Amino acid sequence: MEAVHYPVMHREVLENLPIPSGDSLLIDCTTGEGGHTSLFLRTYPDLTVIGLDRDRSIQKKAIERMSAFGERFRPVNTWFDEYLAEAPSGSADAILFDLGISMFHYVESERGFSFRREEPLDMRLCTDGGLTAADVVNGYDEGNLADVIYKYGEERYSRRIAHAIAEARKEGEIKSSVQLADLISRAVPKEYRYGRIHPATRTFQALRIEVNRELDRICPALDSAIRVLKKGGRIAVITFHSLEDRKVKWFFKDEAASENPRIKILTKKPIVPSEEEERENPPSRSAKLRVVERI
**Among 150, 155, 255, CA closest to 195:** 155
In this structure, the answer to whether residues 226 and 273 fall within a common structural domain is: yes
- Shared domain check, 163 and 287: no
128/75 same-domain check: no
Strands 229-239 and 92-98: parallel
CA–CA separation, 220 and 111 (whole Å): 27
pLDDT one-digit tens code per residue, 135-145: 999 999 999 99
Tell me the sheet residues that pair with 292: 235, 265
**Residue of 278, 203, 225 lying closest to 90 (CA atoms):** 225
Total domains in the fold of the chain: 2
Is residue 91 a contact partner of residue 31, using CB atoms and an 8 Å limit? no
pLDDT tier at 5, thresholds 50, 70, 90: low
The pLDDT of residue 107 is 83
Over residues 82-97, the pLDDT tens digits come to 999 999 999 999 999 9
Same domain, 262 and 131: no
One domain for residues 99 and 164: no
pLDDT at 265 over 60: yes
Are 22 and 286 in contact by the 8 Å Cβ rule? The answer is: no
Indicate if 137 and 68 belong to the same structural domain.
no
Integer Cα distance of 11 and 208 in angstroms? 29
Model pLDDT for residues 21-66, shown as the tens digit of each residue? 999 999 999 999 999 999 999 999 999 999 999 999 999 999 999 9
Question: Is the confidence at residue 279, as pLDDT, over 90?
Answer: no
Are 221 and 97 in contact by the 8 Å Cβ rule? The answer is yes
Q: Is 2 inside any structural domain?
A: no
Mean pLDDT of 105-123: 90
Last-in-domain residue among 212, 243, 273: 212
pLDDT in tens, 12-32: 999 999 999 999 999 999 999
* pLDDT digit string, tens, across residues 209-254: 999 999 999 999 999 999 999 999 999 999 999 999 999 999 999 9
Q: For 101, list phi and psi in degrees, rounded to 5.
A: -85, 130
Query: 174 is in which domain, residue-wise?
Result: 110-212
Confidence of residue 163 (pLDDT cuts 50, 70, 90): very high
Residues 88 and 219 in one domain: yes
Q: Is residue 66 part of a domain?
A: yes
Looking at residue 238, what DSSP letter applies?
E
- Provide the phi-psi class of 214: left if phi over 0, else alpha when psi is between -120 and 50, else beta: alpha
Per-residue pLDDT tens digits for 66-83:
999 999 999 999 999 999
Q: Does 205 lie in the same domain as 78?
A: no
Is residue 3 assigned to a domain? no
Q: How many angstroms separate the CA atoms of 244 and 239, rounded?
A: 6
Query: Is 157 in the same domain as 72?
Result: no
What CATH number did the domain enclosing 203 receive? Answer: 1.10.150.170
φ and ψ at 233, to 5 degrees?
-80, 165
User: Same domain, yes or no, for 94 and 177?
Assistant: no
Domain end among 212, 228, 245: 212
Q: How far is the C-alpha of 251 from the C-alpha of 292, rounded, in Å? A: 11
